[in-house]
Amino acid sequence: MARGKATRRTIESYTLSQINKTIKAGDCVLMRPVERSKPQYVARIEQIDADARGGNVKVHVRWYYRPEESIGGRRQFHGSKEVFLSDHHDVQSVDTIEAKCTVHSFKSYTKLDAVGNEDYFCRFEYNSCTGAFNPDRVAVYCKCEMPYNPDDLMVQCEGCSDWFHPACIEMTAEEAKRLDHFFCETCSPQAQNKLHNSHATSRNSDTKVDTKRRRRN
């Protein structure tokens, strides 16, 4: 009868036999949502513990919120693979882990050559009670003054170095990709004069305009 309080002990790592992956504190994982129609939950493991016999393994996690799960909802500048590191902690059975994933910093995400299913990025911490973000300010670009969405193509003005969405400068993405040089509206008149005085409108082959993702390094 008197079994006492179950003593649990912290374990260093745990191998998920179904997916043949070993998890440890600091790893990011995708977990089965309560409703199967919902996307998998993204979490960072803080601690793993088990009962005295090494059974009933549980993970202590800190949730990442997807933009649609935040109070403010998804905004135009949120990337499709963007998640916010929340202050919301939880304890879950290890069985709910379906895969390991990587949550990149914003900078390293923009440098990825290819974004895989298990790649996410995080540039904000999120307070799940107040809906506040940290940092609460980010650099904005273009005429629309939006933070950078790494999913979107942008072109850089050679005059002011600001970045622009093709749609905001009345261009299609195809046109933008074909550009050799780009000067925004503000920089355009001086730029045209300079070009005229020096080497007229001759186009040289080095492509200055590139997608923002490739350009940023």
| Residue 50: alpha-carbon gap to chain centroid | 32
**What do you get for the CA distance between the two ends of the chain, in Å?**
64
CB of 14 to Zn ion, least distance (A): 46
Judged by CB under 5 A, does residue 144 bind Zn ion? yes
Q: What distance in Å separates the CA atoms of residue 171 and residue 54, rounded to the nearest whole number?
A: 61
What number of other Cβ atoms are within 10 A of residue 66's Cβ? Answer: 20
User: Which residues, numbered 169-208, are part of the site for Zn ion (CB under 5 A)?
Assistant: 184, 187
Q: 114-145 burial, b for 16+ CB within 10 Å, e for fewer? A: ebeeeebbbbbebebeeeebeeeeeeebbeee
CB of 182 to Zn ion, least distance (A): 8
Residues 42, 48, 97, 142: which binds Zn ion (CB under 5 A)?
A: 142
Task: Report the relative pairing of strands 8-10 and 41-51 from DSSP bridges.
Answer: antiparallel
Judged by CB under 5 A, does residue 159 bind Zn ion? yes
Judged by CB under 5 A, does residue 165 bind Zn ion? yes
CB of 201 to Zn ion, least distance (A): 18
Residue 131 backbone zone (phi > 0: left; psi -120 to 50: alpha; other: beta): left
Q: What distance in Å separates the CA atoms of residue 61 and residue 183, rounded to the nearest whole number?
A: 48
Q: Smaller CB distance to Zn ion: residue 48 or 157?
A: 157
**CB contact at 8 A, 13 and 54:** no
Enter the tokens of residue 69. 């799960």
Q: Smaller CB distance to Zn ion: residue 25 or 191?
A: 191
Judged by CB under 5 A, does residue 153 bind Zn ion? no
CB of 44 to Zn ion, least distance (A): 32
Q: Which stretch binds Zn ion (CB under 5 A): 15-23, 87-95, 96-104, 166-174?
A: 166-174
Q: Which stretch binds Zn ion (CB under 5 A): 3-11, 12-20, 89-97, 158-166?
A: 158-166
CB of 178 to Zn ion, least distance (A): 19
Q: Which stretch binds Zn ion (CB under 5 A): 24-32, 113-121, 157-165, 173-181?
A: 157-165
Binding interface with Zn ion (CB under 5 A): 142, 144, 157, 159-160, 165, 168, 184, 187
